[in-house]
Amino acid sequence: MTRHILFLVHGMGRYGVWADGGYKPDPNSWFEACEKELRDNYARFIQDTVGAAFDDLFVIRRIEYDSILDHFRAAWKTQSDDWSQLGVGKGFIGEIQTFFRKNSDDAFLWTHLADVALYMAPTVRAHVQAHVATEITKVLAKALRDRQFGQWSVIAHSLGTAVTHDTVSQLARLTKTPWGAELGPIPAPRALVMVANVARLLTDSTSTLYAETLAPIGAGHPTYYISCAHVLDPFTRLAPFQPGWTSPRYRALSKLGVYYLAPEVIDVLRSGENHNKFGQVVPHGFKHYLRQPEVTATMWPLLLAEDPADYPDIADAVLEAYRDEERKALKAKLKPKLDDLLAHLPPADPVLEQLLKLLKGLL
């Protein structure tokens, strides 16, 4: 059965649980939640119009690289003196070690910043790229050999957008898996969907980042490129993704502004834990982005190789559906909790201070 392969690439931090007094990585829970959100979103807003179920058209393949990062995180605990070769200072290593020893109010920041710092280290970056390239090409090669290949796309979140930029344009060079001459050139993806796009933040060279290898400009290139950034997301605000590509197949969803506070999107702080206080008031999560009307109304038609203009009612349907959920849930459960979080969470910088003011205004 030929189906469109969707590679789901996770982002930075927060893919774990607190157990036995410490933080334990657990990216599977993130994949499970996001896969469910993708399926539910498609079934709710797209399926009736298309006339086909999700599994008839798509298959999801997970791209997990947190295990690579966790290998280096573990090394911090026992070999911090050797990490200077990666360009990471001992002071930062000490802070990360402190986080992994105990829970703290800064847990969200440290889980995210730790992964960013790790990925910026050249040795770690090379390991991640080789791993991701190998995983993608394994899936593509098998589908081609089994004559079950149709199209493939990447839906990447957060740090995963930088990983995708660094990897997809050079799959043949990076992969450890022989591609095989009988398969021909590696086919270009139909779409790169960059959710909470931080590729610019994690790349020093704009000439490399904005090189035309990933620009949707013709044969051998991705057919579509969708960049998503929310106006309240501090990670995408720091260094906005702004290529000079002039192509109607590049869609810059850079001014997303709807903010949903439904319980399924924002985890309610559990009793006795400070972990993820900051994360509960920052619209950076995958599920939050997927519930932005413009994202749903743009992503699915392009994945189906259709014009979003032919689906004029999707954005309004998404807006009304999740707005209603927000209205019902917020007053009953989340507003008191969020008020408490905001009251005990001092802003770290002017951007975050403005973020908190905006959130208070929205509530």
> How high is the pLDDT of residue 268?
38
Which DSSP symbol is given to 190?
A: S
Buried b (16+ CB within 10 A) or exposed e, 331-342: eeebeeebeebb
Pick from 290, 282, 306: nearest CA to 359: 282
> How high is the pLDDT of residue 273?
42
> How high is the pLDDT of residue 105?
47
pLDDT in tens, 225-265: 999 999 878 788 878 999 989 899 999 999 998 877 554 44
> How high is the pLDDT of residue 263?
47
Residue 32 CA to residue 39 CA, distance in Å, equals 11
Helix/strand/coil for 252: strand
124, 88 in Cβ contact below 8 A? no
- Low-confidence residues of the chain: pLDDT under 50: 99-106, 263-278, 347-349, 359-363
Q: Which burial class, exposed, middle or buried, applies to 271 when counting CB atoms under 10 A from its CB (0-12, 13-18, 19+)?
A: exposed
Instruction: Compute, in degrees rounded to 10, the torsion defined by CA atoms 245, 250, 255, 256.
Output: -160
**Domain residue spans in the chain?**
3-362
Residue 253 CA to residue 234 CA, distance in Å, equals 16
